[in-house]
Structure 1
Amino acid sequence: MELVTISDIEAAAQRVRGVAVRTPLLLQTWDPRGTLWLKPESLQPVGAFKVRGAFNAIATLDDESRARGVIAYSSGNHAQAVAYAAQRYGVPAVIVVPDIAPRIKVEATRSYGAEVIEVPIGEHEAKAHELAAERRLTLVAPFDDAAVIAGQGTTGLEITEDLPDVEVVLVPVSGGGLAAGVGAAIKARAPHAKVIGVEPALAGDTAEGLRLGHRVDWPQADRARTIADGLRAQPSELTFAHLRKFVDAMVTVTEDEIRAAMRTLASKARLVAEPSGAVTTAAYLSHTAELPPGRTVAIVSGGNPDPAMFAEILAG
């Protein structure tokens, strides 16, 4: 299986320049260890890193494919990213979402002009493939796509440029596209650094799979238990191959640790993070013994929490 290379990621960086925000590294002075930097991908136009992969994937399409349109399936952030990128390119977009997706993400997707189709949870991927064939649309997968992985990898490229002596990179893992791309970039540009994947314990299929050396399948109902709605997917063969090569270890965090990290990010880092975006901070704060020491970057992957849930969490 051919893996994404640093050349692929560098090419993606040229394509997304000017459309994806080059997010800063923010040293956290409140951290008593003084070793934590945050990379707030929550500041992207759609509030999540997904814009990088979506733009790179659509940028690589030929004119005929763009004219026919694209389709994606997602619980929220990839949906918004594809809709936003398609709008910027003038490409028709259809997005299939599970009916439990946060309303704030669904409505944001519609606001970018995409046709949104809601289906029962667990059926959105199959429905997207069905409609792609029926309408001759190009599928922009949320993670099982080399162009998407390369686009997400630009996050890691920026980390190595802004903090060349980084020692630890904490990255959320769901379908694995972000961790795959970031891992490829970090290992190419800062091979001394450790890449640590972070999952909710209630959706810890990748941690188990990497421990066993093969992908494992957790029932959808089990993965749906976590508050981190953006981390309920499972890696594909493509992303799992990247994870096996580039991720040094996995850490799982509890629901209470995720909530506490969201409060810390809001009160001390002044960042709004959704649960999925807070897991890396949760790992840094609550699992020190499981992490290598040194200069650490935690990727805050998304900032689109459900408003009512966010208010409840902040209230403690």
Structure 2
Amino acid sequence: METLKQILSIQEIKEAHKTLKGMARKTPIVKSFYLTAKTGGEVYMKLENMQLTGSFKFRGAFNKISSLSESERAKGVIACSAGNHAQGVALSSKLAGIKSKIVMPESAPKAKVDATREYGSEVILAGATFDDAKEFCGKIVAETGETFLHPYDDVKVMAGQGTIGIEILEDLWDVETVVVPVGGGGIIAGVAVALKSFNPNINVIGVQAENVHGMKASIDAGKIVSHFIAPTMADGCAVKVPGTLTYNVVQQYVNEIITVTEAELELAMKDLLQRAKVVVEGAGALATAALLSGKIDKYVNGKKVVGIVSGGNVDLQRISSVCEHFFGVDA
């Protein structure tokens, strides 16, 4: 098995931090008095829903595109995404002055599809799931030779996402636990390296949906496996098979990965909207759902905790359905 140093180093994350300076936003960390009262920990939220394009994905996409050679840029770039990586690549490509093409699953939220097109990318809808879109994307790359930008299993992408960890430490150096949403593993791999390089005792906890949790299933099995039961409202993290590089980093440096139900996700979305005035997509509610569920209390009680709110690109229809579900319920 590869070691962490061979996969991703803190130096690469620091270099990404320099690359992103003046481009990506340094998103705020705010204390949640509601989550603090509910959990018994001192809980803060890292609001990546306020990042450019509405999610953390801009960080990794911009860092990767900044590293491309002139010949790679000339070919144009192509990516597969459920929506957030798509927007990150689209805006980064626009800023770099290169052409981009995004393959998205047919189930991708309309808000994400529309936004990706508005940033200037060509969008191709293919397949029912992210993994189907990824397979179709591979066929296009084989035919056209366009430069493929992996959404998570890439050192430059992981390094870009890892800058979130640096920002957390800049604002809250004595953080004890960081709760991170997990899909393919890019954000948690980068954040884990950043945090553990500073203090190996910081707890890094991953959260996935019960319906789709390829990374947790793989960690539990001790090898990369696939996991899919049904679609999840955390569509941005609905990855059946994790990355190879990300899996190795997660296996070595993440303390634990837990899962939450769709009901717990919906409750977290409602509470973030009503109590924190924060609009999130399903994946963006994963950390909050974990905190409210009580499943990670041993990492939270009496500790200084940060939950990463990874994105806010949600269809108004989804918000409406969540509100209707809880209509008349005393929050």
Q: Give the letter for the 2:192 counterpart.
A: G
Q: Name the amino acid aligned to 2:158.
A: I
Q: Counterparts of 1:284 and 1:4 in 2: how far apart (Å)?
A: 28
Q: Tell me if the contact between 2:258 and 2:295 (Cα under 8 Å) persists in the aligned partners.
A: no
Aligned to 1:232: 238
| 2:37 paired with 1:22 | no
- Amino acid corresponding to residue 171 of structure 2 in structure 1: D
Does residue 95 (structure 1) correspond to residue 99 (structure 2)? The answer is no
Of stretches 241-250 and 209-218 in structure 1, the one that deviates more from structure 2 is 209-218
User: Could you say which residue in structure 2 is the equivalent of 1:174?
Assistant: 183
Taking the TM superposition and a 5 Å limit, the aligned residue runs for 1:97-136 are: 97-121=104-128, 122-136=131-145
Corresponding residue of 2:254: 247
Deviations 1:229-257, CA, capped at 9 Å, x for gaps? 11111311111001001100111111111
Once the two structures are overlaid, the 10-residue window that deviates more, 204-213 or 186-195, is 204-213
Q: Displacement, 1:201?
A: 1.1
Question: Structure 1: 5+ residue runs without aligned partners?
Answer: none
Query: One-letter code of the match for 1:231?
Result: C
Q: What stretches of structure 2 of length at least 5 have no aligned partner?
A: 327-331
User: Aligned equivalents of 1:291 and 1:203: distance in 2?
Assistant: 24
Paired residue type of 1:60: S
Which string of whole-angstrom CA distances, capped at 9 and with x for unpartnered residues, describes residues 238-277 of structure 1? 1100100110011111111111111111112111010100
Matching residue's letter, 1:287: G
Kindly indicate whether the alpha-carbon contact (under 8 Å) linking 1:154 and 1:182 is maintained by their aligned counterparts in 2: yes
SS at match of 2:33: coil
Distance in 1 (alpha carbons) for counterparts of 2:323 and 2:66: 39
1:143 partnered with 2:152: yes
Match of 2:221 in 1: 212
Separation of aligned partners in 2, 1:246 and 1:34: 22
Whether the 8 Å contact between 2:213 and 2:238 is mirrored in structure 1 is no
Q: Contact between 1:166 and 1:190, CA under 8 Å: does it hold in 2?
A: no
Instruction: Please give the secondary structure, in 1, of the residue aligned with 2:178.
Output: strand
Q: Residue 264 of structure 2: which of 257, 268, 274 is its match?
A: 257
Contact between 2:291 and 2:297, CA under 8 Å: does it hold in 1?
Answer: no
Percentage identity across paired residues of the two chains: 40
Q: Give the distance between the partners of 1:291 and 1:282, measured in 2 at CA.
A: 15
Partners in 1 of 2:298 and 2:168 — Cα distance?
18
Instruction: State the 1:134 CA deviation.
Output: 2.3
TM-score by length of 1: 0.96
Tell me the equivalent position of 2:48: 41
Q: 1: CA distance between counterparts of 2:193 and 2:95?
A: 28
Cα distance change of structure 1 residues 110 and 36 upon mapping to structure 2, 3 Å threshold: same
Q: How many residues align?
A: 313
Which residue of the partner structure matches residue 211 of structure 2? 202
Look up the equivalent residue of 2:126 and give its one-letter code.
Answer: V
Q: 2:90·2:119 contact (CA, 8 Å) conserved in 1?
A: yes
C-alpha root-mean-square deviation of aligned residues, in Å?
1.3
Letter in 2 for 1:24: P
State the TM-score, normalized to the length of structure 2: 0.91
One-letter amino acid matched to 2:242: P
SS of residue paired to 1:292: helix
Does structure 1 residue 54 correspond to structure 2 residue 58?
Answer: no
What is the rounded CA distance, in whole Å, between the counterparts of 1:289 and 1:303 in structure 2? 24
Contact between 1:165 and 1:190, CA under 8 Å: does it hold in 2?
A: no
| Alpha-carbon offset, residue 225 of structure 1 | 1.9
Residue pair 1:157, 1:189 contacting (<8 A) in 2 also: no
* Deviates most, 263-272 or 164-173: 263-272
How far apart, CA to CA, are the structure 2 residues paired with 1:287 and 1:275?
19
CA-CA distance at 1:203 after TM superposition: 1.4
1:69 aligns with 2:76: yes
